Amino acid sequence: MSEQNELIKRRLEELEKIRELGINPYPHRFDITSDSAGLIKNFKDAETDEEKEARKSELHSVAGRIMAVRKMGKATFCHIKDETGKIQIYIKKDEIGDTAYDVFRLLDIGDIIGVKGYLFRTKTGEISLHAVSYELLTKSIHPLPVVKEEVTESGEKIIHDAFADVELRYRQRYIDLIVNENVKETFVKRTKIIQSIKRTLEKHDFFEVETPTLQSLYGGANAQPFVTHHNSLDIDLYLRISNELFLKRLIVGGFNRVYEFVRDFRNEGIDRTHNPEFTQVEWYQAYGDYSDSMNMFEEVVEQACIDANGSTKAVYGDTELDFKRPWKRLKMTDAVFEKTGLKVNEMKKQEIIDYMKDNGIEFDPKISHSKGLLIANLFEETCEEDLIQPVFIHDFPIDTTPLCKPLREYSMKQLEEMSKDPEQVIYVERFEPYIYKWEMGNSYTELNDPILQRKLLEEQVERGRAGEKETHPLDEDFLKAIEVGMPPATGVGLGVDRLVMLLTNSQSIRDVIFFPLMRPL
């Protein structure tokens, strides 16, 4: 039998002995009056014997999981961990009684107890709770990994038996949260970041809404969806890849500023910055443009960094990032020129293809028909690695999205003529914010011309028929909404998980998702 099974067997035997002593190892509730952090923070040493004696009547009740035990015959020290931290407990046989002490001797690391007692400082200087009574609240059957610290003569701290297997930590997040202190702090910061984003948006009169997760027609992003089936209606449905088209419907309906935190689902690969299920916040503002969205985006992220870390700066790996406004703004074509020296607008499509081939830059042959897509691909392959500090890359080729307005400098006649010439690239009012080489979001001056919108979506359908896997389907109801009339508007999508990664120095998206998708064992 393995060592693990032997430990479980021993704990089951202890559980039976506890029951034989007439103790319920799983009671219904326990009254808590204090937490460990508050007790330690507010403790003041008694100055006189009278004050020390009086303190014995100031009883506090705490509850937590046993994380360490030091038994000494008729007295025992242990540390319990609650939601706020750890505190030492001192239990003496003569004070709690023989039966209670016998039960305590049967307890293990991982068991949960409730303790009532008074505070004192030990001879070693540690603030502790002297138990006058305790109650077993949960007997743990599965042993925790016991993390041991060793401090060498040089002062170096060595960790033994850490719960460090990454895949096991993701699969057993409940254990990860118990034994790895920094993990909980990451998720506390995650919540602070989300709350901060909400406060900033609501300060600017954005209204929180909810849109469908199950959709009969997916859209709003270039991505492959997950497909499911509704038995009663006998129809296929898609898990949401984006909530964009529904939020725009609300803009049409008269909600001028809306936002939503959503779980999006995209049937894509898994790597350190991608998970098939992830969190986004999207917001839409009527009567604004992508410059307004740039201003709002940098304010949202700057404030989130302040609320999570106390300043506009955060360290990721060995790089210090500064989110202080204003951020750099750079056209996509200017970014390409700075990196390669190429003036892509003056080049023929074949010249761009030849340059990419000569320099070993990979591209999907299916996009070679489009000069705009080649430019976007060239940017991704040559420029993204250099985009470390926050920067807005703006003015994208129209081929990259069918949902965005062309640059306002174009006349209607220019657009008509340029659309007929494959060597001409129309640019749209779109930006993507980049931080530490990652695309962090997406934003447009939203297209509200129903005629052009239909034309661009129909082109996407044709590209899908030609073999492109990630294109927009034709959503007739959305087109009807635009035909009803959508005011000038701008919208933003922000990847929450990636932002949390940056602000918590987490190296994988799985480190900031409580329960990331894992292959079944």
**Tens of pLDDT, residues 412-435:** 999 999 999 999 999 999 999 999
pLDDT of 279 above 90: yes
Confidence of residue 333 (pLDDT cuts 50, 70, 90): very high
Tens of pLDDT, residue by residue over 141-165, are 999 987 666 667 776 666 555 688 8
pLDDT of 468 above 80: no
In a domain, 171, yes or no: yes
Contact 194, 247 (CB under 8 A): no
Residue 164 sits in the same domain as residue 190: no
Tens of pLDDT, residue by residue over 38-50, are 999 999 998 788 8
Identify the domain containing residue 162 by its residue range: 150-179
- The C-alpha angle 140, 142, 148, rounded to 5 degrees, equals 95
Tens of pLDDT, residue by residue over 208-242, are 999 999 999 998 888 899 999 999 999 999 999 99
In a domain, 62, yes or no: yes
Contact 451, 498 (CB under 8 A): no
Contact 119, 90 (CB under 8 A): no
Confidence of residue 309 (pLDDT cuts 50, 70, 90): very high
Confidence of residue 116 (pLDDT cuts 50, 70, 90): very high
Tens of pLDDT, residue by residue over 57-78, are 999 999 999 999 998 889 999 9
Give the CATH number for residue 44. 2.40.50.140
pLDDT at 157: 62
Q: CA 379: distance to chain centroid?
A: 27
Confidence of residue 51 (pLDDT cuts 50, 70, 90): confident
pLDDT at 147: 65
Residue 10 sits in the same domain as residue 138: yes
Residue 67 sits in the same domain as residue 191: no
Tens of pLDDT, residue by residue over 247-274, are 999 999 999 999 999 999 999 899 999 9
- How much of the chain exceeds pLDDT 70, in percent? 95
pLDDT at 223: 87
Residue 208 sits in the same domain as residue 305: yes
Residue 8 sits in the same domain as residue 133: yes
pLDDT at 407: 97
pLDDT at 162: 64
Residue 173 sits in the same domain as residue 322: no
pLDDT of 473 above 90: no
Q: pTM of the full predicted structure?
A: 0.90
In a domain, 404, yes or no: no
Say how many domains are in the chain.
Answer: 3
Q: What average pLDDT does this structure show over 101-121?
A: 95
Tens of pLDDT, residue by residue over 175-184, are 999 999 899 9
* Of 4-18, 154-168, 430-444, minimum mean pLDDT range: 154-168
pLDDT at 465: 58
Q: Which residues lie across from 428 on neighbouring strands?
A: 396, 406
The structure tokens 């706020």 sit at: 84
Q: What average pLDDT does this structure show over 465-487?
A: 81
pLDDT of 463 above 80: no
Report d(CA 191, CA 195) in Å as an integer. 6
The one-letter amino acid at 151: V
Q: Copy the structure tokens of residue 386.
A: 């250099």
The more confidently predicted of residues 403 and 249 is 249
Q: What average pLDDT does this structure show over 450-470?
A: 75
Residue 218 sits in the same domain as residue 283: yes
Highest averaged pLDDT of the listed ranges 450-464, 471-485, 488-502 = 488-502
Residue 120 sits in the same domain as residue 173: no
Cβ atoms within 10 Å, residue 338: 12
In a domain, 362, yes or no: no
Q: Which residues lie across from 78 on neighbouring strands?
A: 69, 89
Residues 6+ apart with CB under 8 A from 315: 321, 505
In a domain, 41, yes or no: yes
Give the CATH number for residue 310. 3.30.930.10
Residue 110 sits in the same domain as residue 230: no
pLDDT of 193 above 70: yes
Report d(CA 61, CA 59) in Å as an integer. 7
Residue 292 sits in the same domain as residue 319: yes
From the number of C-beta atoms within 10 Å of its C-beta (0-12, 13-18, 19+), residue 163 rates as middle
In a domain, 189, yes or no: yes
Contact 356, 363 (CB under 8 A): yes
From the number of C-beta atoms within 10 Å of its C-beta (0-12, 13-18, 19+), residue 267 rates as middle
Residue 188 sits in the same domain as residue 322: yes
Asked which of 123, 144, 165 is the last residue of a domain, the reply is: 144
Cβ atoms within 10 Å, residue 212: 11
- The C-alpha angle 391, 397, 402, rounded to 5 degrees, equals 110
- Report the chain's terminal Cα–Cα distance, integer Å: 22
Confidence of residue 171 (pLDDT cuts 50, 70, 90): very high
Tens of pLDDT, residue by residue over 339-392, are 999 999 999 999 999 999 999 999 888 888 899 999 999 999 999 999 999 999
Q: What average pLDDT does this structure show over 441-469?
A: 82
pLDDT at 513: 97
In a domain, 246, yes or no: yes
Residue 192 sits in the same domain as residue 318: yes
In a domain, 372, yes or no: no
